[in-house]
Each structure stands twice: as C-alpha cells, then as structure tokens.
C-alpha cells in the first residue's frame, strides 16, 4: 500500500502511467470492448466501473492542455450529439479535476477501433454500460 495513491492503481498500471510521455494515449474501456485485439498492453481492473477507474487514473494522470480534445469518446449509435450518463459524468469530473472546461472529441465506433491500435495501453474494466470507451491524452505537469 502507498499513502495517498488510490489502491486501484496497481504497480503495473502505475508503471504504465508513469512511462507514458506527453501526447501518449491511454484507452479506458468497458467489458464489451475487444481489448486484446488492439495489440497494446492491457491492464485488467476487474469488477470496476468506468467512473471508478477514471477517478483513480485522473488522480495521477494530467490531461494534455495543448490540444482541443484531450478526452475522446466513442460515438453513441452513429449520432455525435448523443451521449450516455457515464460519458457526461466523466466529462464533468475531468473538467472539475483539471480546473478547466473540457469537451469530448467524438470518434465513430469503427474508427475508434482503428485508433486503439495506436494507444500506449488499454485499461479494461468490467463495466456493463454501453459506450464506455474513452481515450485520454497525457499532458505535462
């Protein structure tokens, strides 16, 4: 156990987050996402929801301030204006913790799968809610 570090952040996950550099991308996904097929390292968090995982990650992970959309989400039902409750909650939380208003970049579902092949790593949860798939762009401290 480490003092001041969320216990959800295992040694393997902390190592990946620490090794990432400015501009590297982290994928946070739900149980339905084919994490292994991305070909990137996968950290499995088990029975953890997207918001619980996002809060732990964002407690140590700075979002990029040099780009307009340091958070990206999978498009819902081919409608870029449609969002889910977890997408709205994650955006509100990230804006709060970053101390600045944020907007999602929206990626069509099939394009999202292609983008996943270029991320640094994948954090896989067992959240059953649909469209719980996000890309975080790492910033600087």
d(CA 80, CA 38): 23
User: Has residue 109 been placed in a domain?
Assistant: yes
Q: What is the DSSP letter of 12?
A: H
Tally of domains in the chain: 1
Q: What CATH number has the domain bearing residue 125? A: 3.40.1650.10
Instruction: Say if residues 50 and 37 touch (Cβ distance below 8 Å).
Output: no
Burial class (CB in 10 A: 0-12, 13-18, 19+), 107: buried
Domain of 73 in residue numbering reads as 11-137
Give the Å distances, CA to CA, from 108 to 1, 39, 73, 77, 120.
Answer: 39, 20, 9, 9, 20
Quote the pLDDT of residue 3. Answer: 87
Residues catalogued as catalytic = 22
d(CA 1, CA 19): 20
In this structure, what token pair is assigned to residue 16? 């990946």
d(CA 48, CA 69): 25
Confidence check: pLDDT of 140 > 80: yes
| Per-residue confidence band for 66, with pLDDT thresholds at 50, 70 and 90 | very high
Task: Write out pLDDT tens, residues 102-133.
Answer: 999 999 999 999 999 999 999 999 999 999 99
User: Has residue 53 been placed in a domain?
Assistant: yes
Q: Residue for token digits 């084919």?
A: 34
């Amino acid at each position: 156990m480490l003092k001041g570090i969320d216990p959800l952040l295992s040694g393997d996950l902390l190592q990946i987050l620490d090794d990432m550099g400015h501009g590297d991308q982290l994928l946070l996904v739900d149980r339905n996402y084919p994490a292994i097929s991305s070909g990137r390292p996968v950290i499995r968090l088990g029975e953890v929801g997207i918001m619980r995982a996002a809060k732990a990650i964002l407690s140590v992970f700075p979002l990029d301030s040099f780009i307009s959309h340091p958070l990206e989400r999978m498009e819902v039902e081919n409608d870029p204006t449609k969002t889910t409750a977890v997408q709205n909650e994650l955006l509100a939380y990230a804006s709060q913790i970053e101390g600045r208003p944020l907007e999602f970049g929206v990626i069509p579902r099939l394009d999202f799968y292609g983008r996943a092949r270029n991320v640094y790593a994948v954090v896989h949860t067992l959240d059953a809610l649909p469209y719980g798939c996000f890309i975080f762009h790492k910033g600087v401290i």
